[in-house]
Amino acid sequence: MVKITKEDIKHVAGLSRLEFSEDELEKFTEQMGDIINMADQLAEVDTKDVPETVQVVDRDTVFREDKPEHWETREELMENVPEKADGYIKVPVIIDKDDNA
Amino acid sequence: MNFKSTIGLEVHFELKTKSKIFSPSPVSYGAPVNTETNVIDWAMPGVLPKLNKDVYRLGIMVALATHSHILPTTHFDRKNYFYPDNPKAYQITQFFQPLARDGYIEVEVRGKKKRIGIHEMHIEEDAGKNTHGTNGYSYVDLNRQGVPLLEVVSEPDMEDPEEAYAYLTKLRQIVQFTGASDVKMEEGSMRVDTNISIRPAGQKELGNKVEMKNLNSFDHVRRSLAYEEQRQQQVLLSGGRVQVSTRRFDDATGKTVLERVKEGDADYRYFPEPDIAPDHISQEWIDEIEASLPESPFARRKRYVEEYGIKEYDADVILQTKESSDFYDATVAAGADPKLAANWLNTQVNGYLNEEQVEIQDIKLTPENLAQIIKMIKDGTISSKIAKKVFKESIENGTDPKKYVEDKGMVQLSDLSVLEPMVKKVVDANPQSVEDFKNGKDRAIGFLVGQIMKETRGKANPKVVNELLNKELQSR
């Protein structure tokens, strides 16, 4: 059984750029622990000789042709953007991108 | 103490599709900000991404051209990260089962051939573009969000910056000639990250790795690696430890600058992408794509040098881009002499491209028209001097050369019944030149040729005139 600690919650919160209060941390640690442990019940199923799967929906090799289409306009898409400037989405500056390509 | 370098490269290519990888938004370089996006690119709730077939097709082309093994079954995965350049908060990529593995390309450095391994290549989506303002804000353009990328990851097989440079040059050429990508570093359709570590000669275990991202040019790649080799040596020699870190190259100083020290691996929490079905790539489809692969740059070079008898240097100039090589092949196919065609392409056409700062695919001269000009020179219809005029007209206005020559009466004058009397007349009128010729002054003949050219307004065939003059002068 996996033990979820407060540190785990802090780590995941940091990755998601979220900050929690001490109370919230306590609460989420307990809730997250319950969720993980519930999911862990799946491990009790005997999966010997069952091939590994990455998909449970019965679909395979679904392609579309390379045909460009214009759907929504910029104005429609940006209706919910809180701050915009000259067609750009304006966001607080974050230079320090994690290590992603 | 001697040190050994270990270098690996990660190269991203934008694949040349008309629409994005998971949505039908159009892809065109330089479109107005945020105009080539839709609800899928914005990751609105309830949307379902659907894979563009051509992304696989182009990726498979590159895999085939680099002797890579294409995996029969692949699937996509989510790479989770939070950054405003991607509204989904994850990138869809291939982490567990990439498109292809275990390829190689062959390079030649200092006269020595070497195989550089390709560890794997995978398909993924590009992120949007952030512009950082000085006012505490960043500005996001999502046009690039969802543009298909092919990331080619080399084995750490390169041992010095020259090998890295040679690998990049070769890889770019190979990819370009498949037609899968524009491979323009200045437009971001090719991007390079490097990894370098050094270790004392004889030590087995690799040293700590330094990564450099988003290098602007091949030259920056070479210079930054050379700088890092030196810097890391100094660190080790002074008893220090190389920090596992990301650094960036500063063009102005030629130095690399520390950006970030890495503490442990980044935590991307990869998991299989539930929105995209797994893909089975059939051997039939691979065979079909293989049959459609354009001729490789190596096969073209061989043909140019061995069949056409073109100098290796000239062949390499033609092969600098696929467009120029295609133009050349079309010119030869339209009946032009291969050597003359190479000459005209590399001097006149390239001269024009450099002067006008345009690309060969954007000019008005067609391979057929260039072939016509060359054929007219070859069969003596026009002189090479006139040919330059016709060329200028054709490349600037797209004029049909044959028609132009006929309309303007530029056909070269080779008719002996016209030229012979003219030669006699000119020689008669210039006794001093006859005298000079007899005294062995060769330039006398040049003067007389000039007189005839003046008379015929440049149309006389210089070869014929020279022969006639020689005969006439010797008979006196």
Best probe of the B interface among A59, A88, A90, A95, by most B CBs < 10 A, is A88
pTM for the model: 0.84
User: Per-residue pLDDT for A99 more than 80?
Assistant: no
Element (H, E) at B367: helix B367-378
Q: Report the distance separating Cα B293 and Cα B299, nearest Å.
A: 12
**pLDDT classification of A100: cutoffs 50, 70, 90:** very low
Return the pLDDT at B442: 75
Distance CA B63, CA B287 (A): 12
- Whole-angstrom distance, CA of residue B362 vs CA of residue B390: 19
CATH T-level fold of B416-474 = Arc Repressor Mutant, subunit A (1.10.10)
Quick: pLDDT tens for A15-37: 888 899 999 999 999 999 999 99
Q: Say yes or no for a CB contact (<8 Å) between A63 and B33.
A: no
User: Quick one: angle between helices B161-178 and B218-237, nearest 10?
Assistant: 150
Q: For tokens 């920056």, what's the residue?
A: B220
Mutation target for A interface from B22, B28, B82, B135: give the one with most A CBs within 10 A.
Answer: B82
Residue B61 CB neighbour total at 10 angstroms? 24
Strands (E), B251-293: 255-261, 271-272, 279-280
B203 in A contact zone (CB under 8 Å)? no
| Interface pTM, i.e. ipTM | 0.87
pLDDT at B263: 64
Q: How distant, in Å, are the alpha carbons of B8, B31, B202, B229, B234 from that of B207?
A: 13, 44, 12, 12, 14
* pLDDT(A70) > 60: yes
Is residue A97's pLDDT more than 70? Answer: no
Contact criterion met (CB < 8 Å) for B132 and A78:
no
If you average pLDDT over residues A69-95, what whole number do you get? 92
Structure-block tokens of residue B239: 């008893």
Measured at the alpha carbon of residue A26, what is the angle toward residues A24 and A32, in degrees to the nearest 5? 90
Minimum Cα–Cα distance from B266: chain A residue: A99
Q: Quick check: A74 and B268 CB within 8 A? A: no
What is the rounded radius of gyration, in angstroms, for the C-alpha atoms of chain B? 30
Q: Locate B261 and state its tokens.
A: 């020290």
**What are the boundaries of each domain within chain B?**
3-280, 295-407, 416-474
The residues near B316 (Cβ < 8 Å, ≥ 6 apart) are: B301
Contact (CB<8Å) B267/A15:
yes
Low-confidence ranges of chain B (pLDDT < 70): 263-265
Note the pLDDT of residue A1: 61
Cα radius of gyration (chain A): 22
